[in-house]
Amino acid sequence: ITRHDLINQLSALHHSIELADVCGDKRSDFRRKQISAIQRIRQQVLSTRDYQDRGKNIPCWQDVRTTAKNAAKGLDLGSIRLDLAIDGVEVYADSLLPKVFYNILDNTIRHSETAGRISISCHPAKDTLVIVIEDNGCGIAPAEKRRIFQKGYGRNTGFGLFLCTEILQMTGITISENGTPRRGARFEMVVPGQAFRYSAEETPAESGPYHPVSQVQTS
């Protein structure tokens, strides 16, 4: 699928360059299309690299707030406000976990023009921890809620959310989308009990609304 996508983008770029050579005053529009095609090709190549690198390194404990904050630094949020309502929580995940947050945030920026806020929080559910990333944009249609995680689906690289599932499942974490259409998207990552803990700096009583069901000890 990726090879096919790259060939399509290169074909579009080639055709646009040819038209730019013969259309005089309209060249600026064709140049914009060329730049857009080049950017998509770059994103697709980077996505294949990330896909190949998943599981390459040993999973490690990662602070959720820090991971999300660093992922957001690589994006242009524009007027979108990012609320990080999560502190002192670590998850045991593949080293590409930052890419998961990056891809989900990027998904909102690209596909929800009406979104003005993105919030990241978490809460316990039985013996698991649920990490929630939600926005107040246009949401996702019911028919697409499962398809968005399929390889090759989407208007960009077709790898973003599929890659998220591949990265998370390395340590048993699952992801789903259950937001309300026209009210916003809501991504939920369910972390199994053995894959989350509270950082040494905080105790459950100090961590606000978060109360761990299990405490994982490291050797």
Tokens of 97: 């976990």
Residue 13 CA: distances (Å) to CA of 6, 8, 16, 37, 153: 10, 9, 5, 6, 22
Residue 91 in this model has a pLDDT that exceeds 50: yes
User: 60 near 91, Cβ under 8 Å?
Assistant: no
Q: Residue 182: pLDDT band by 50, 70, 90 thresholds? A: confident
161-174 tens-digit pLDDT = 888 998 999 999 99
Whole-structure pTM value: 0.68
User: 117 near 81, Cβ under 8 Å?
Assistant: yes
Task: Compare 149 and 25 and report the one with higher pLDDT.
Answer: 149
Q: What is the pLDDT of residue 114?
A: 84
Q: What is the pLDDT of residue 188?
A: 97
Q: Within 10 Å of residue 169's Cβ, how many Cβ atoms?
A: 14
CB proximity list for 218: less than 8 A, separation 6 or greater: 61
Overall average pLDDT of the 121-147 stretch: 92
Q: What is the pLDDT of residue 216?
A: 34
Q: How far apart are CA 21 and CA 53, in angstroms?
A: 40
Edge-to-edge order in the sheet of strand 81-85 = 81-85, 117-125, 128-135, 186-191, 174-177
User: In percent, how much of the chain has pLDDT > 70?
Assistant: 64
53-70 tens-digit pLDDT = 665 778 999 999 999 999
| Burial of 193 (C-beta count, 10 Å sphere; 0-12/13-18/19+) | middle
Residue 212 in this model has a pLDDT that exceeds 50: no
CB proximity list for 16: less than 8 A, separation 6 or greater: 30, 33, 34, 37
